[in-house]
Amino acid sequence: MSAIAEVMSTVALRRDPRCSELPTCPVCADSMVAAEASAYVSDHVISYLWTCDNCGYGFVTKHAVKHRMVCN
């Protein structure tokens, strides 16, 4: 049985946008690493619930999702 595998480059052509979009707490300026929860608001929008581990402040962010074209 033969198999076909797709090999993707490990060299990033541009920096991952999530690296620069990670929030900091607006109350104590602590860095936020991971959202506590996430949910699809619509087909193109995801909301994230953030809670600061340092001071407990919580807030929500929303991000638009871009669809990728898949070529066969």
Using pLDDT thresholds of 50, 70 and 90, give the confidence band for residue 37: very high
Where exactly are the structural domains of the chain? 32-64
DSSP 5-54: -----SS-SS--HHHHH--B-TTT-PBP-S-SEEEEEETTEEEEEEE-TT
- 44-60 confidence digits (pLDDT tens): 899 999 999 999 999 99
Q: What is the pTM of this model?
A: 0.60
